[in-house]
C-alpha cells in the first residue's frame, strides 16, 4: 500500500471516529436534556398541585392584603411591577401578586419559528411544556380579582388557521358586586376570543362564602405532565367544571334556562 493510500485510510478512520464521537456526544446531550425536562416537569407538577390544594381552601370572599401576600410568597410568587414606573410597586392597599410555574420550553424565550417547530416536534419525544399562572389583584386592602390559568400550547388546525393553539383551563374570581343573577354566580363556558383560535375552558366564580371553589379548582395535572399522552379533553383536566358545563348546556338545549 502506498504512503498516499495509507494516509487516506488513516484520515478516513479518524473522520469516522470523530463522527461517531460527535454522534455519541449529541445523543448523550439529548438524553440528559430529556431526563432533566422530565424530572423538572415532575417537580413543577408537585409545586402546582400544592398551589391548587391551597386555592381550594383559600378564603377568597374575605381575603385581604396579608392573606394574599402570604399565599403568593408560600408558592414562590411576588408583587408585579407597576405599569407606570412612578407608581409604587405595591402597598397594603393596592398590589398585584403573580405566581408562575413553568415547565419545559415555557421557561425559554423562543422566536416564532423555533417555538412552532419545538412545540410541534417535542411532544412526539415525550416532552410536554405547560405552565400555571395565578394573579391576585388587591384593591382597597381587599382581594378584588383573581385569575388562575393552566395549560399548554398545541400545534393544531382550526378552520383555515394552522399553528399553535392554547389548550387549558382558567378560574376567574370576581367580587360579589359583579353578581347580576344568583344563577350565574358560578358559570363555566368558553369565552369569546378575537384573533387566533383558543381552546380554553373558563370557570367564573363570584366570591361568596359558599362559592364552589372545590369544584372550580378540581384540576388534574396528570394528563398535562404525561410523557407520551396528552389531555384528551377537559373531562381529564377539569372534570368537575366540565361536568357542570355539560349540565348547564343540557338545560339550555332543553329550554329550561333562557339565554
pLDDT, one tens digit per residue, over 88-143 is 678 999 999 999 998 877 777 766 776 677 777 777 777 778 899 999 999 999 99
**Mean pLDDT, range 222-239, rounded to an integer:** 82
Q: Could you tell me the pTM of the whole model?
A: 0.81
pLDDT for position 11: 64
* Neighbouring-strand partners of residue 149: 133, 170
The total number of structural domains that make up the chain: 1
Q: What is the predicted pLDDT for the residue at 8?
A: 62
| pLDDT at residue 236, as a whole number | 93
Domain enclosing residue 141, as ranges: 3-254
Residue 259 lies in a domain: no
Within a 10 A sphere around the Cβ of 179, how many other Cβ atoms? 14
| Alpha carbon distance 51, 131 (integer Å) | 13
Q: At 171, which helix (H) or strand (E)? A: strand 161-174
Whole-number pLDDT of residue 259 = 47
Weakest-pLDDT range from 136-140, 143-147, 189-193: 189-193
* 169 part of a folded domain: yes
Q: Considering the domain boundaries, does residue 140 fall inside one? A: yes
Non-local CB neighbours of 73 within 8 Å, separated by 6+ positions: none
Residue 64 pLDDT grade (very low, low, confident, very high; cuts 50, 70, 90): very high
What is the pLDDT, as a whole number, of residue 212?
94
Residue 27 to residue 21: CA distance in whole angstroms: 10
What residues have CB less than 8 Å from 57, skipping those under 6 apart?
Answer: 213
Residue 66: inside a domain: yes
**Higher pLDDT residue, 219 or 183?**
219
Highest averaged pLDDT of the listed ranges 93-107, 116-130, 166-180, 208-222 = 208-222
Q: Is residue 76 part of a domain?
A: yes
Position 81 scores a pLDDT of 66
Do residues 128 and 104 lie in contact, with contact meaning Cβ atoms separated by under 8 Å? yes
Distance, CA of 62 to CA of 174 (rounded, Å): 12
128 within some domain: yes
Q: Residue 250 pLDDT more than 50?
A: yes
Specify the pLDDT at position 181: 67
Average pLDDT value for residue range 206-235: 86
Amino acid at each position: 500500500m502506498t504512503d498516499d493510500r495509507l494516509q487516506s485510510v488513516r484520515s478516513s478512520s479518524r473522520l469516522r471516529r470523530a463522527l461517531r464521537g460527535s454522534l455519541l456526544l449529541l445523543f448523550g446531550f439529548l438524553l440528559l436534556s430529556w431526563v432533566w425536562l422530565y424530572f423538572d416537569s415532575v417537580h413543577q407538577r408537585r409545586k402546582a398541585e400544592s398551589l391548587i390544594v391551597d386555592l381550594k381552601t383559600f378564603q377568597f370572599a374575605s381575603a385581604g392584603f396579608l392573606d394574599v401576600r402570604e399565599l403568593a410568597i408560600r408558592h414562590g410568587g411576588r408583587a408585579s411591577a407597576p405599569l407606570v414606573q412612578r407608581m409604587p410597586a405595591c402597598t397594603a392597599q393596592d398590589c398585584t401578586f403573580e405566581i408562575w410555574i413553568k415547565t419545559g420550553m415555557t421557561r425559554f424565550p423562543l422566536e416564532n419559528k423555533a417555538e412552532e417547530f419545538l412545540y410541534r416536534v417535542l411532544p412526539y419525544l415525550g416532552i410536554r411544556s405547560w405552565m400555571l399562572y395565578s394573579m391576585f389583584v388587591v384593591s382597597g386592602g381587599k382581594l378584588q380579582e383573581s385569575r388562575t390559568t393552566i395549560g399548554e400550547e398545541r400545534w393544531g388546525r382550526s378552520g383555515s388557521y394552522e399553528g399553535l393553539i392554547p389548550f387549558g383551563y382558567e378560574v376567574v374570581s370576581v367580587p360579589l358586586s359583579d353578581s347580576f343573577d344568583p344563577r350565574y354566580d358560578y358559570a363555566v363556558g368558553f369565552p369569546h376570543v378575537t384573533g387566533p383560535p383558543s381552546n380554553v375552558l373558563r370557570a367564573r366564580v363570584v366570591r361568596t362564602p359558599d362559592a364552589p371553589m372545590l369544584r372550580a379548582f378540581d384540576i388534574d395535572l396528570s394528563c398535562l405532565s404525561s410523557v407520551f399522552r396528552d389531555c384528551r379533553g377537559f373531562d381529564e383536566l377539569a372534570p368537575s367544571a366540565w361536568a357542570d358545563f355539560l349540565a348547564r348546556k343540557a338545560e339550555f338545549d332543553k329550554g329550561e334556562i333562557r339565554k
